[in-house]
Chains A and B, each alone.
Chain A
Amino acid sequence: MQVKDVSDLHAELGREKLLPAIQASVVEVQVQDRQQSGNKRPPLTIRTIVEILAMQFDPADFILPNGYLTLGESAAMCGMGGVGKSRLVMQLALCCRTGREFLRWETRGPELRWLFLQTENSCRRLQADLERMLSAFTPAEREAINTGVFLHTLEGDEDGFLALDMANCERISDAIQKIDADIVVFDPLRDFGIDDLNTDAHMTETLREISRLTRRGNARRVPLVIHHALTGKAGIQKVMGFDRSSFGRNSKVLFMWTRAQINVAPVRPDDNSTLIIASGKCSNFSEFQPFAVRLNFDTMLYSRDDDFDVEEWRDSLDKAKSVADKLTLDGVFAMIPETASIPKNTVIQKLQDKGIGEKKARAFLDGHKSASGPIYEWHIKRSGKRDEIHLARCAQRDWER
């Protein structure tokens, strides 16, 4: 039941829990923004084409000169849970602060301050990662990092809870103002969600709130959202190509909101040390070609792996699919002897070896077997056991039973 007033709450929670719940959820009235919205907003800015052409822009606005991180513009990184998105963004922050290249991309803005609002990694995990990451930097670089990278840590009961309700909006806004951050990382988007992010309405509301919070007081501040992507092989296949825009979960709204998006996917199902980095979107410039990166376990930093053939990797994903699509009667006949029979399980195993699922293989065989062919099912008697099911190209004769 949707609770819409105090009486509903009384009915839902009962009288014993009503007051504690209400008293815990009382917040200051937010009147300031409303007042401003009443009549104090500045007029709309209107320019002629000549004025726009005469404008001067600072190239330093492009924190990544390829356009994937720009002051004043929203950005996103998408990837499956645990693949290494947070670590990659942390590496980006460290590289920006120290002026180092990030995955061979030039970085700008060593003076920019980064705030990570994260809800997943404990202090222990952060310490373990950061110790190794910082080992790759000089003492002077570490000092630059220390004065410009800040993380929300999970220490109190309320720390992992950053859903954008009114109280958390204030907490986040206060943190952003206090740190005077230039780039605010929301990691992961799911934990900031206003209700269910699988719905467009709530995704829109959440992203709008993130924009509002981030840009309050500084319109050039960047909201960088880390978002979970679709899982499984079908999800990974969307990391690049025509479906790259739908790589993130319920990505339709996110894709419209963000100005640039980087997709991250693991190369192998059981190993996240080699990743594919691909472009999801870039509104400012042309998109980069996908490439692979490999994790150095000593420094926990990623570096490009030019020996890795991304096209071949993509083909291998497609190939597995195309083999599965080639489940034909001729193919099955090739596995069955012309005059004898073969155990059905053996045929299914052979089909599975070709990348065809057991369910699909069984359904195909069952759909083509009948008393009149084309595939015949034989029942081989076994003493004290159930009949063994064989497949053959001809009907079973009595003496063969």
Chain B
Amino acid sequence: MERIAKARGWKRETIRDLTIGPHLGWHEGKLAFIYESGVKLRWRQHGERIVRWAFGKPWLWRGSIIDTASTIYLCEGETDAISLIDAGLESDWRTVAVALPSATTFNERWADLFLGKEVILAFDADKAGREATHRVSRLLRQHVASLKQLNWRGLQRCKLKT
């Protein structure tokens, strides 16, 4: 836990709270993202990042807490969601970060979960991210109260100013 927190620049408490969740774990030297529908493992081997489902099937990471919140940050990958949580996104108890298991994984039946919510799509600033934004927004926009996305050009400039 210490090693992951240090490598990623996350607080130990963030990792601890997620493991209590339980949303995060450790299995045979592999980082385990715990879903309500299964467990996804991630590790490095010969410099290559490997992702495998230990068991179960893809769903939304932390999908079960969507119901408790009014504002949802939907991320592309669990580590992006953890970064937001680490930055204090969930401190008001009304905002939560959840994640797609990958940019291309979003089942249209999951859209009902976001009924009446304010949703912010925090997908990556690349082609896959843009396509995911397009596809997911088409599925969500009939259900949600509001639908927003990250403006990466603005964020790039913000980074430059910093």
Contact = CB atoms under 8 A, between A and B. Distances in A.
A282 B76 CA distance: 48
A15 B87 contact: yes
A18 B84 contact: yes
Contacts of A166: 151, 153-154
Contacts of A55: none
B109 interface: no
B122 interface: yes
Interface stretch (A23-31, A215-223, A346-354): A23-31
B121 A29 contact: yes
Interface string B118-157: 0011101110010001100110010000111111111111
B29 interface: no
B148 A26 contact: yes
A371 interface: no
What size tier do the contact residues of chain A reach?
Answer: 20 to 34
B126 to A, nearest CB: 6
B125 A26 contact: no
Contact of A31 (B84, B87, B134): B134
Interface string A3-33: 1111101111111111101101111110100
A25 B141 contact: no
B107 interface: no
Which residue, A4, A9, A34, has most C-beta atoms of chain B within 10 A?
Answer: A9
B14 to A, nearest CB: 9
Contact of A15 (B75, B86, B138, B149): B86
Contacts of A194: 153
A11 B162 CA distance: 12
A327 interface: no
A328 interface: no
Contact of A26 (B9, B81, B151, B162): B151
Contacts of B152: 3, 25
B9 A10 contact: yes
Given A5-B76, A17-B162, A10 B154 contact: no
A13 B89 contact: no
A194 B154 CA distance: 11
Interface string B88-124: 1100000000000000000000000000000011101
Contacts of B11: 15
Given A5-B76, A5-B124, A22-B155, A10 B87 contact: yes
Given A7-B80, A29-B148, A165-B153, A15 B141 contact: no
Contact of B153 (A12, A18, A24, A163): A163
Contacts of B76: 5
Contacts of B87: 10, 15-16, 18-19
Interface string A21-50: 110111111010011000000000000000
B151 A25 contact: yes
B161 to A, nearest CB: 9
Nearest to A1: B159
Nearest to B89: A19
A6 B79 CA distance: 8
Contacts of A60: none
Contact of B88 (A19, A21, A28, A35): A19
B150 A22 contact: yes
A14 B162 CA distance: 10
B154 A24 contact: yes
Nearest to B153: A165
A167 interface: yes
A10 B150 contact: no
Nearest to A15: B87
B24 to A, nearest CB: 15
Interface in B1-36: 8-9, 11
B77 interface: yes
A3 B153 contact: no
Contacts of B77: 5, 7
B151 A10 contact: no
Most buried by B among A7, A25, A165: A7
B84 A6 contact: yes
Looking at A15, A18, A19, A28, the one whose CB has the most chain B CB atoms below 10 A away is: A15
Given A4-B124, A9-B83, 14 more contacts: A3-B155, A5-B80, A5-B125, A7-B83, A9-B159, A10-B83, A12-B159, A19-B88, A21-B155, A22-B84, A25-B150, A26-B149, A28-B147, A35-B138
17 contacts: A3-B156, A4-B124, A4-B126, A5-B77, A7-B80, A10-B8, A10-B87, A19-B87, A19-B89, A22-B150, A24-B154, A25-B152, A25-B154, A27-B151, A28-B147, A163-B157, A165-B153
Interface of B: 8-9, 11, 75-77, 79-84, 86-89, 120-122, 124-126, 129, 133-134, 137-138, 141, 146-159, 162
